[in-house]
Structure 1
Amino acid sequence: MVAASQGDVEAIQLVLSHFTGYIITLSTRLLFDEFGNPHVCVDEDLRRRLEAKLVSKLLLFDAM
């Protein structure tokens, strides 16, 4: 976390990969097709926004 908060790209990728499952769970939506059949899918726009928010808050994190 400290290295990621200091801008280390590899550390940021490690934090993102750690939270990937949670982010995907948060961005999963139930959609219905034209016949009314339900389909579960990941809202990619929401997933990217959540990842961007995590990175932005991570860079503001003060480890001290």
Structure 2
Amino acid sequence: MEAAEKNVSNKKLISFRIIKKASEGDIQAINEVLKHYEGYIANLSIRKMYDEYGSVHYCVDETLRRRLETKLIKTILGFKIKR
């Protein structure tokens, strides 16, 4: 249990203030959320490509990356905070 708690405390979380501002449509806050998930989105967007010689290359599929970013923005804007 202690190891799991250490993992959570080592990760930087998005502050409530940023989440609230992003859900209200603040562009800078939305960009901060996108920046926070930038690495994760890039990792999800990696695809295996083959060149004309049959060699394998891994690269970020920009179309997929943009689609994931757009989906995240849409989700942020639809997020409702209840108290």
The answer, yes or no, to whether TM exceeds 0.5 is yes
1:29 and 2:69 equivalent?
A: no
Which of these two proteins has the greater Rg computed from alpha carbons? Answer: 2
Distance 1:19 1:63 in 2: 20
Normalised by the length of structure 2, the TM-score is 0.75
1:6 and 2:14 equivalent?
A: no
Segments ≥4 residues shifted beyond 6 Å: none
Question: Could you list the runs of 5+ residues in structure 2 that have no partner in the other structure?
Answer: 1-18
Distance 1:42 1:12 in 2: 22
Q: Give the drift of 1:31.
A: 0.5
Q: Report percent identity of matched pairs.
A: 52
- CA RMSD, aligned part only? 0.5
Q: Name the counterpart of 1:54.
A: 72
Q: Which has the higher contact order (CA 8 A, sep 6+)?
A: 1
